[in-house]
Amino acid sequence: MAFGKNKGIYKTPAELRLMVRPGLVTAASLAAVREAIRPGITTLELDAIAESTIRSLGGVSNFQMVPGYRHTVCTSVNDDIVHGIPGGRMLVPGDIVSVDSGAEVGGWNGDSAITVVLDDPARPEEVAARRLLSEVTEQSMWHGIARLASARHLNEVGEAIEEFVEEHPSTRQGAVYGILTDYVGHGIGRSMHEAPPVFNYRVRQRGPEVKPGLVVAIEPMITAGTTETYTRDDEWTVASADGSMASHWEHSVAVHADGIWVLTSPDGGAAALAPLGVTPVPIP
């Protein structure tokens, strides 16, 4: 998507407070999906669970506001990376499933994604590799979020993400991880997708200044192979060109006068950020 100039990307303290609720509703929808996900359930059933959760908490699906998209979540399975459409596909043991969800409450938006790997005793090595891929992706996201707490400019986030992936022990032992470059994170607020872009890799430009009022969705998308992708015939689902497995993790994060707060995590990101030396501060 096209992103505008930096003017207007910073929210007021009052607007930041209004973004807390949609973040929590988004988090609740993914928690409900995580609890329900298992072999034998369809991706459309997961979609219904997310929608029911969002509506029960007074929100609406912001994904359904995207022209041409009718569902509450995106469900991307195995070599599908992002934008997978829920349907009759039944999950099976060993699947790696990324679920992306978003909620709007009071005209403000939340956006988050998780990856779950289903157990399969018959394929322990494949399951272990897929869980490692998910772990690397998730931790790269948290390293990007941690960098946001001290960054002067936004594009330091992508540097931290790529640096973590490059220096991960499995990478040094020969594992291959492809950080997608065609799809990036974004600002979020009145719209689900706003300026500025949030890169998951190093770029030359410094990006906008990190200061109170900045709210961004940080979302690394990583494959166990190529960064090349193609869009399936449904015109939505983005898949890896070489059939490699993929993982997608995302959180919406606010910068305010006293620190950062992960809007789409019930604890603001405290548990995950503690090992990285960062203590998130609730929005006052």
Is 281 inside a domain boundary?
no
Q: Specify the pairing of strand 215-218 against strand 259-262.
A: unpaired
Is 206 inside a domain boundary?
yes
What is residue 21's predicted lDDT score, i.e. its pLDDT?
A: 98
Cα 186 to Cα 198: distance, rounded to the nearest angstrom: 5
Instruction: Give 8-32 as a DSSP string.
Output: T-BPPHHHHHHTHHHHHHHHHHHHH
Cα 208 to Cα 186: distance, rounded to the nearest angstrom: 12
223 and 249 Cβ atoms separated by less than 8 Å: no
Is 123 inside a domain boundary?
yes
**250 annotated as ligand-binding:** yes
Please report, rounded to a whole number, the percentage of residues in the chain having pLDDT higher than 70: 98
Shortest CA distance to 180 belongs to which of 163, 201, 196? 201
Residue with the two structure tokens 């022990």? 169
Is 99 inside a domain boundary?
yes
**80 annotated as ligand-binding:** no
Mean of pLDDT values over 250-261:
98
Is 41 inside a domain boundary?
yes
**83 annotated as ligand-binding:** yes
Cα 278 to Cα 284: distance, rounded to the nearest angstrom: 18
pLDDT category of residue 1 using cuts at 50, 70 and 90: very low
pLDDT tens column, 22-36: 999 999 999 999 999
Instruction: Give the chain as a DSSP string.
Output: -----STT-BPPHHHHHHTHHHHHHHHHHHHHHHHH--TT-BHHHHHHHHHHHHHHTT-EESGGGSTT---SEEEEETTEEE-PPP-SPBP-TT-EEEEEEEEEETTEEEEEEEEEE---TT-HHHHHHHHHHHHHHHHHHHHHHHHHTT-SBTTHHHHHHHHHHHHSHHHHTT---EE-SSS-EEE-SSSSSEEEEE-SS--SS--SB--TTBEEEE--EEESS-S-EEE-TTSS-EEETT---EEE-BEEEEEETTEEEETTSTTTTHHHHGGGT-------
What is residue 24's predicted lDDT score, i.e. its pLDDT?
A: 98
Cis peptide before 275 (omega within 30 of 0): no
pLDDT tens column, 64-120: 999 999 999 999 999 999 999 999 999 999 999 999 999 999 999 999 999 999 999
Shortest CA distance to 102 belongs to which of 235, 194, 174? 194
**258 annotated as ligand-binding:** no
Is 8 inside a domain boundary?
no
CATH number at residue 27: 3.90.230.10
**Angle at alpha carbon of residue 153, lines to 152 and 156, rounded to 5°:** 100
Tally of domains in the chain: 1
57 has pLDDT over 90? yes
Range of the domain at 18: 13-276
Mean of pLDDT values over 202-226:
97
Is 215 inside a domain boundary?
yes
Q: Give the pTM.
A: 0.96
What is residue 4's predicted lDDT score, i.e. its pLDDT?
A: 38
Strand ordering across the sheet containing 80-82: 80-82, 238-240, 229-231
Across the chain, what does the average pLDDT equal? 96
**153 annotated as ligand-binding:** no
What is residue 8's predicted lDDT score, i.e. its pLDDT?
A: 84
**186 annotated as ligand-binding:** yes
What is residue 187's predicted lDDT score, i.e. its pLDDT?
A: 98
What is residue 6's predicted lDDT score, i.e. its pLDDT?
A: 47
**267 annotated as ligand-binding:** no
How buried is residue 269: exposed, middle or buried, by Cβ count under 10 Å (0-12/13-18/19+)? buried
Is 29 inside a domain boundary?
yes
